Amino acid sequence: MRGLAVFISDIRNCKSKEAEIKRINKELANIRSKFKGDKALDGYSKKKYVCKLLFIFLLGHDIDFGHMEAVNLLSSNKYTEKQIGYLFISVLVNSNSELIRLINNAIKNDLSSRNPTFMCLALHCIANVGSREMAEAFAGEIPRILVAGDTMDSVKQSAALCLLRLYKTSPDLVLMGEWTSRVVHLLNDQHMGVVTAAISLITCLSQKNPDEFKTCVSLAVSRLSRIVSSASTDLQDYTYYFVPAPWLSCKLLRLLQCYPPPEDGAVKGRLVECLETILNKAQEPPKSKKVQHSNAKNAILFEAISLIIHYDSEPNLLVRACNQLGQFLQHRETNLRYLALESMCTLASSEFSHEAVKTHIETVINALKTERDVSVRQRAADLLYAMCDRSNAKQIVAEMLSYLETADYSIREEMVLKVAILAEKYAVDYSWYVDTILNLIRIAGDYVSEEVWYRVIQIVINRDDVQGYAAKTVFEALQAPACHENMVKVGGYILGEFGNLIAGDPRSSPLVQFNLLHSKFHLCSVPTRALLLSAYIKFINLFPETKSTIQEVLRSDSQIRNSDVELQQRAVEYLKLSSIASTDVLATVLEEMPPFPERESSILAKLKKKKGPGAVSVNELEEGKREGGELNGGGERGGDSSAIASTPSPSADLLGLRAGPPVTAAAPSAGSLLVDVFSEAGVNDDGFLRFVCKNNGVLFENQLLQIGIKSEYRQNLGRMYLFYGNKTSVQFVTFTTTVTCPGDTLVLEPLIEGGAQVQQVINIECLTDFSDAPLLNIKFRYGGALQNLTLKLPVTINKFFQPTEMASHDFFQRWKQLSLPQQEAQKIFKANHAMDTEVLKAKLLGLGMALLENVDPNPENFVCAGVIQTKAQQVGSLLRLEPNAQAQMYRLTVRSSKDTVSKRLCELLAEQF
Amino acid sequence: MQFMLLFSRQGKLRLQKWYVPLSDKEKKKITRELVQTVLARKPKMCSFLEWRDLKIVYKRYASLYFCCAIEDQDNELITLEIIHRYVELLDKYFGSVCELDIIFNFEKAYFILDEFLLGGEAQETSKKNVLKAIEQADLLQEVSTQSVTSEHLCKCIATPQ
């Protein structure tokens, strides 16, 4: 295509971006006029222009025409024209429905042409586009082509990967069937290319349907065994730089990672033999000096090691793998050092190889110090983190701290989190922990996130053996002329709580402490100042002798008239509190903080969030399962329940530690009132009813497990997020959940989000009205014992309410219309909770109906209106709640267009007030 | 594999292949970000890096960077050799391939890639088989030769040991 070459040369010769754009616009105008012209273009010209458009698009310009011409090319008899047509479609397809039909038609013709070259072109196009429309059109046809006996090998290869692409984009459209078993047997195909292509498909299908494909394990093992034991020339063109079939070998090893170790002894023996051979080959002298040879060989080796780690059952192989990786740690190839560090991270979490990994600590520390590439240093830091246990924690933490001083900015925050977690997890004596965190703040204060300094305070509060030491250390740290604001925060909080423990020493007498803190005050931001003010009021309680000095400070214009509302409010309130409250009241209000409830470390949560699920190695997801009795393990603290009881709001638990001003009682907290009211019932076994009027909170909690819920509803649809929290220090094994739905009145699709181990999303559709809630069954193993738990999911009919506003007149008119006896349900019951109007209102709003003001002639009564949206019908409902404060009774009346709804609503609500 | 990008030392995109559905806007953003990241790296640095939740594997051949994005469980080294095999295929087809060949015959570069990788997975790893498929297609195609000269991507590929 001479014209195309000339055009490309022109573009390349353009001296400036403007010139290029000018040339392109000229060409676009030319092509447009050619396409619009009266003269019919011949195939060659069409091909040339379409190709030019493609080139322009690839230069980064938008193309909004030419699609039709490209589609025309698809039905050309000339291969080259067809090919360009397909290329254009593959690169530039948009979901113009008109065109998709034409394209699909052309593809269909080519697929049935029995010309293998045409068939491949069509299959490539489907694989490249992979749209849903194509899946709808071809997902049924392609499996047939794939397994048909007379299909050419090259077509089979394309069909396999084409199907894979469709399965990835629209798994629901690719139906399993008779072809599935025949696909597995492609692993035995004579043609290596067919096996190479088919195995990618089989791997993907096995991940989703392991049982249906499990026969592939023995086939894969025997294929692998044949490759591994073949001489380097046996496989002819599939040998790559003296390595037999490296791509296929890697894919086979990858497929085996979808399954547990083979149960059949013979198969397993053969596989272990393969793995040993691969490990042996790594020790043999290379057959070529080319990097391609070693890369291909090591690609297989790393994949084999991944499989060994996946099985985690062959101590001998695990240790050998570890030794091999140890050699790579000092290899001259940066790539290998990188991969060895990465791979060792996973080995470190296996109990069989953990010790072996630890022997490489010096090399890894050295890598952290000397590697020139930051991504390699990052891997070294990850590995140090993974190999850390009680025996080497002090060394590792010290090394990480010293690395932090020079670490790249991009990884500092993560490093800080890691140091903080390790220090906490392996703290034997807590003075070491406090020292470490304070060092962390000193070295990298800017990167110490809130979670980290919240955590140190949490721990100091919970451990009385470290409080005196902490107070002394922060006091000393604050003496530094320039100290980080985070240090001031921690210092303010800790001295406010425990300053009395060091007040005996005249060098840290109350006034000295106060003056030290206050000397930092003016350099700090508003939140820190707020915290310091709270520390001051705590001082007044701890040390009455500082009262006048502190009152003086609070009274100063810069506090009491501060332009910041929060600061001003604190100053005013604290000043007032200190002057009017008696010593007893003051002591009660400003009492030492109660211990924080133990829960998953908020830092750990932060690291997980930062790295994303799956990116964190297994052992850190389950907090310190290897070491018993960590600081953070739930088992250590027997008195957990008291800690929970002292936190008034379990529904805030999902948020993690509630931080902020140390004086909770004095801080304005009107905003959290609603939450507290709704969750006053605390944690009990029947979480279900507590969710009638709210959507979020803790559904269930025992010593092992906490289940939190967040849900949202719109019309007849809902989505519920379940959060499973492991409260123990041990991993839960085979954690499975099933949701069953009585009577099929709701459609639930439980789906575990990819990789996330703690969150589950359920989509809900209400088909018709219902009374029975769906059941959630949870099974898992904890310390060998099977735990089985069934809970009602709090999906109730009122969740699908649409509020309806109406005037008094309308309300009573409708009320009268719903006068059939079965349409009404009524209950009279005793009040279970205080009869507070605001609380009642909040609950009724939570119910989902519109709360109608000024409708009922009696202002004490509440009336509500709403429409329940189900797929089948809409059910209008009206409600009237009449409280009788004297008798502490309620009368509840519900009228709906459907009797079952009235009855159910009445039952649900009777338990709420 | 999620996508493959070929770009020059000057940051000009020469070939892009996407195996996951993304909007044009997103593609452009990713390309810009990755080209920048990879070009900023020094020659001796390792060929792999973490990027978003993907792993990037890249290698430079003469003036061109070949850059692949793979998923967490995918094998970095074998991906590096996928790149190399593709370079070999181009080299064999064009006869000592250089950047200009890819510019002027971009459609061929795409066709060869489609024969080698499909849907982001290796379809046919035998050099002979891939080239046979392309040559068969070429038999049906009129010949258009371009005389171009620029630095060859691989000087030592033609004669494997």
pLDDT band at A320 (very low <50, low <70, confident <90, very high): very high
pLDDT band at A638 (very low <50, low <70, confident <90, very high): very low
Distance from CA of A858 to the nearest CA of B (A): 59
Name the residue in chain A with its Cα closest to that of B18: A128
Residue A242 has pLDDT above 70, yes or no: yes
Range of lowest pLDDT (A20-24, A30-34, A366-370, A821-825): A821-825
Residues of chain A with Cβ-Cβ distance to B126 below 8 Å are 192-193, 236-238
Per-residue pLDDT reduced to its tens digit, A27-84: 999 999 988 887 778 888 889 999 999 999 988 888 888 888 888 899 888 888 899 9
pLDDT band at A743 (very low <50, low <70, confident <90, very high): low
Which is nearest to A763 in space by CA: A708, A706, A697, A716?
Answer: A716
Which is nearest to B72 in space by CA: A615, A199, A304?
Answer: A615
Is residue A408 classed as helix, strand or coil in its secondary structure? coil
- Beta carbons within 8 Å of A813's beta carbon, 6+ residues apart: none
Is residue A216 classed as helix, strand or coil in its secondary structure? helix
- Beta carbons within 8 Å of A785's beta carbon, 6+ residues apart: none
- What φ, ψ does residue A702 adopt, rounded to 5°? -135, -160
Predicted pLDDT at A414: 85
- Beta carbons within 8 Å of B41's beta carbon, 6+ residues apart: B49
Name the residue in chain A with its Cα closest to that of B77: A299
Vertex A73, ends A71 and A79: CA angle to 5°?
135
Residues of chain B with Cβ-Cβ distance to A612 below 8 Å are 53
pLDDT band at A642 (very low <50, low <70, confident <90, very high): very low
Residue type, A899: D
Do the beta carbons of residue A421 and residue A604 sit within 8 Å? yes
Burial of A138 (0-12, 13-18, 19+ CB in 10 A): buried
Any idea which residue has 């792993």 for tokens? Answer: B55
Distance from CA of A155 to the nearest CA of B (A): 11
Distance CA A822, CA A818 (A): 9
- Chain centroid to CA A52: how far? 44
Any idea which residue has 């604050």 for tokens? Answer: A478
Q: DSSP secondary-structure letter at A725?
A: E
Distance from CA of A648 to the nearest CA of B (A): 39
Contact yes or no for B75 and A254 at CB 8 A: yes
What angle, 0 to 180 degrees and rounded to 10, lies between the N-to-C axes of helices A510-521 and A467-478?
Answer: 50
Q: DSSP secondary-structure letter at A219?
A: H
What is the full DSSP assignment across A437-476? Answer: HHHHHHHHGGG--HHHHHHHHHHHHH-TTTHHHHHHHHHH
Residue type, A606: K
Contact yes or no for B122 and A157 at CB 8 A: no
- Beta carbons within 8 Å of B148's beta carbon, 6+ residues apart: B98, B100, B101, B104
Name the residue in chain B with its Cα closest to that of A239: B126
Distance from CA of B159 to the nearest CA of A (A): 11
- What φ, ψ does residue A552 adopt, rounded to 5°? -60, -45
Query: Closest partner residue to A200 among B76, B78, B121, by Cβ?
Result: B121
pLDDT band at A234 (very low <50, low <70, confident <90, very high): confident
Q: Radius of gyration over alpha carbons of chain A, in Å?
A: 35
Predicted pLDDT at A97: 64
Residues of chain B with Cβ-Cβ distance to A335 below 8 Å are 46-48, 76-77, 80
Residue A891: which H helix or E strand, with range?
strand A889-896
Residue type, A632: N
If you count them, how many residues does chain A have?
A: 913
Burial of A690 (0-12, 13-18, 19+ CB in 10 A): buried
Size of interface A-B (CB pairs under 8 A): 177
Do the beta carbons of residue A303 and residue A254 sit within 8 Å? yes
Mean pLDDT (whole number) for A714-728: 81
Residues of chain B with Cβ-Cβ distance to A338 below 8 Å are 46, 48
Contact yes or no for B84 and A84 at CB 8 A: no
Predicted pLDDT at A126: 92
Query: Closest partner residue to B118 among A158, A240, A339, by Cβ?
Result: A158
Q: What's the mean pLDDT when you consider all of chain A?
A: 83
Binding residues of A: 2-3, 34, 44, 48-52
Query: Closest partner residue to B75 among A83, A288, A302, by Cβ?
Result: A302
Predicted pLDDT at A675: 25
Distance from CA of B81 to the nearest CA of A (A): 7
Distance CA A45, CA A28 (A): 14
pLDDT band at A872 (very low <50, low <70, confident <90, very high): confident
Contact yes or no for B76 and A83 at CB 8 A: no
Which is nearest to A443 in space by CA: A413, A473, A475?
Answer: A413
Per-residue pLDDT reduced to its tens digit, A812-868: 888 888 888 888 888 888 888 878 888 888 888 888 888 888 788 888 888 899 988
Mean pLDDT (whole number) for A715-742: 76
Mean pLDDT (whole number) for B65-89: 95
Distance from CA of A272 to the nearest CA of B (A): 21
Which is nearest to A158 in space by CA: A212, A106, A113, A194?
Answer: A194
Name the residue in chain B with its Cα closest to that of A298: B77
Contact yes or no for B46 and A241 at CB 8 A: no
Residue A544 has pLDDT above 80, yes or no: yes
Contact yes or no for A1 and B144 at CB 8 A: yes
Contact yes or no for A164 and B85 at CB 8 A: no
Predicted pLDDT at B151: 60
Residue A777: which H helix or E strand, with range?
strand A775-782
Predicted pLDDT at A666: 31
Residue A775 has pLDDT above 50, yes or no: yes
Contact yes or no for A131 and B144 at CB 8 A: no
Chosen from A80, A138, A235, A293 to mutate, greatest number of chain B CBs within 10 A? A80
Strand partners, B122: B117
Q: Given the DSSP bridges, would you call strands A705-714 and A717-726 parallel, antiparallel or unpaired?
A: antiparallel
How far, in Å, are A70, A76, A750, B24 from residue A103 at the CA level?
A: 9, 13, 36, 21
Residue type, A135: A
Is residue A60 classed as helix, strand or coil in its secondary structure? coil
Distance CA A589, CA A871 (A): 54
Mean pLDDT (whole number) for A344-357: 88
Mean pLDDT (whole number) for A616-635: 35
Contact yes or no for B122 and A124 at CB 8 A: no
Chosen from B115, B118, B135 to mutate, greatest number of chain A CBs within 10 A? B118
How far, in Å, are A5, A430, A456 from residue A603 at the CA level?
A: 59, 17, 10
Do the beta carbons of residue B102 and residue B8 sit within 8 Å? no
Predicted pLDDT at A616: 36
Residue A753 has pLDDT above 90, yes or no: no
Do the beta carbons of residue A882 and residue A890 sit within 8 Å? yes
Mean pLDDT (whole number) for A210-226: 93
Vertex A689, ends A684 and A692: CA angle to 5°?
140
Burial of A283 (0-12, 13-18, 19+ CB in 10 A): exposed
Residue A442 has pLDDT above 70, yes or no: yes
Mean pLDDT (whole number) for A886-910: 86
Residue A469 has pLDDT above 90, yes or no: yes
Contact yes or no for B141 and A372 at CB 8 A: no
Helical segments of B47-105, H only: 76-94, 99-104
Residue A303 tokens, joined = 């994949």
Per-residue pLDDT reduced to its tens digit, A266-305: 999 999 999 999 999 999 999 999 999 999 999 999 999 9
Residue A184 has pLDDT above 60, yes or no: yes
Do the beta carbons of residue A312 and residue A318 sit within 8 Å? yes
pLDDT band at A602 (very low <50, low <70, confident <90, very high): low
Contact yes or no for A161 and B46 at CB 8 A: no
Q: Which residue has the higher pLDDT, A5 or A614?
A: A5
Predicted pLDDT at A678: 27
Distance CA A229, CA A274 (A): 8
Contact yes or no for B119 and A161 at CB 8 A: yes
Residue A736: which H helix or E strand, with range?
strand A733-740
CA-based max dimension of chain B: 45
Distance CA B76, CA A584 (A): 68
Distance CA B98, CA B157 (A): 13
How many Cα atoms are found within 13 Å in the side-chain-facing hemisphere of A612?
A: 10
Predicted pLDDT at A599: 60
Chosen from A53, A191, A243, A292 to mutate, greatest number of chain B CBs within 10 A? A292
Residues of chain A with Cβ-Cβ distance to B82 below 8 Å are 247
Distance from CA of A5 to the nearest CA of B (A): 6
Question: In degrees to the nearest 10, what's the CA dihedral of A599, A601, A605, A607?
Answer: -170
Distance CA A322, CA A347 (A): 7
Distance CA B145, CA B149 (A): 13
Do the beta carbons of residue A494 and residue A463 sit within 8 Å? no
Do the beta carbons of residue A85 and residue A122 sit within 8 Å? no
Contact yes or no for B128 and A237 at CB 8 A: yes
Mean pLDDT (whole number) for A89-98: 75
Residue A630 has pLDDT above 60, yes or no: no
Residue A77 tokens, joined = 């008899």
Contact yes or no for A337 and B46 at CB 8 A: yes
Residues of chain A with Cβ-Cβ distance to B48 below 8 Å are 335, 338-339, 375
Residue A693 tokens, joined = 């009027």
Do the beta carbons of residue A715 and residue A757 sit within 8 Å? no
Predicted pLDDT at A752: 41
Distance CA B114, CA B130 (A): 9
Residue A665 has pLDDT above 60, yes or no: no
Distance CA A407, CA A405 (A): 6
Distance CA A46, CA A75 (A): 12
pLDDT band at A554 (very low <50, low <70, confident <90, very high): very high
Range of lowest pLDDT (A352-366, A632-646, A782-796): A632-646
Contact yes or no for A197 and B21 at CB 8 A: no
Range of lowest pLDDT (A56-60, A458-462, A671-675, B77-81): A671-675
Predicted pLDDT at A784: 65
Predicted pLDDT at A96: 61
If you count them, how many residues does chain B have?
A: 161
Residue A143 has pLDDT above 60, yes or no: yes
Residues of chain B with Cβ-Cβ distance to A298 below 8 Å are 77
Which is nearest to A296 in space by CA: A252, A344, A240?
Answer: A240
Q: Radius of gyration over alpha carbons of chain B, in Å?
A: 15
Residue B156 has pLDDT above 60, yes or no: no
Distance CA A45, CA A793 (A): 65
